[in-house]
Amino acid sequence: MADEKNKDEVFNVADIVKRAKLAMGFRRDSELAAYLGVSRSTLSNWVARNSIDFPLVLGRLNQVDYNWLLTGKGSPVLQRNYCVSELASGPVERLHQPKGAEALDDRSVTLYDIEAAANLKTLLDERPQFALGQIVIPNVPACDGAVYVCGDSMYPILKSGDIVGFRYIKDLNSIIYGEIYLVSYHVDGDGDYLVVKYVNKSDTPGSIRLVSYNRHHEPIDLPMSQITAMAIVKFSIRKNLIM
């Protein structure tokens, strides 16, 4: 059971502390602790319990790319791209870092009302009906649209109210494990669900494992036969303002 639990833990505080020291040029834990305004023992307890004060760390290290700081993906240098429009305003963060080259450009992306659509498949099938308007996103790859995030399962990488841009996945055999996806699925007798999760391989045949960044949410083994639509998350807009 311990091995299974460790496999599904998305973050590792010891690694976060190492990356924080690297980003700030610190050699000792005591230097990082002093910079964060906590005691050396508090920092040690974070590592021992694999639990960390995210608001404090992210607030003090706001010049560091938080996706790299938390997961090791991407670059430690914060790319300060901003979206400014009537529908949304805030810094843009690329969440999917492909192995190959990907064309980047300033793109007009349709923002959709996912709550009105109820699920991703309905939204994709009847896009004009659920369009809220266009937002121009600087320096991002091609995507099929954007929606608001609800819930705290991916906090602090994503929080409720953030906007995420997505690219529809037509073939479920092309899933890139370890990436963040929008997953829409149906449970007989229980209805439709839409979640934003890391998608990992499952030990259950014919299933995928949905893993939250927030450790208070347990992993879910989802039969692929229940999936109605999937889309990889390409970018997020951290802070948004609705006019």
Architecture of the 2-71 domain: Orthogonal Bundle (1.10)
Count the neighbouring beta carbons within 10 Å of the beta carbon of residue 191. Answer: 9
pLDDT interval class at 7 (50, 70, 90): very low
pLDDT at 44: 93
Instruction: Provide φ and ψ at 50, rounded to 5°.
Output: 50, 45
pLDDT, position 118: 85
Residues of the chain with CATH 1.10.260.40: 2-71
Write the pLDDT tens digit of every residue in 44-90: 999 999 999 988 998 888 778 888 888 887 777 665 578 877 888 88
The answer to whether residues 127 and 110 touch, using CB atoms and an 8 Å cutoff, is: yes
pLDDT at 11: 77
State the average pLDDT for the chain. Answer: 86
- Give CA separation, 87 vs 114, 132, 167, in Å: 15, 8, 20
Q: What is the pLDDT of residue 18?
A: 92
Instruction: Encode pLDDT of 84-138 as tens digits.
Output: 778 888 888 888 877 777 788 888 999 999 999 888 999 999 999 999 999 988 8
Read off the pLDDT of each residue in 181-203 and give the average, rounded to a whole number: 93
Q: Span 81-237: which CATH code?
A: 2.10.109.10
For residues 159 and 152, is the Cβ–Cβ distance under 8 A?
yes
pLDDT value at residue 9: 55
Residue limits of CATH 2.10.109.10 in the chain: 81-237
Where is pLDDT greater, at 157 or 168? 168
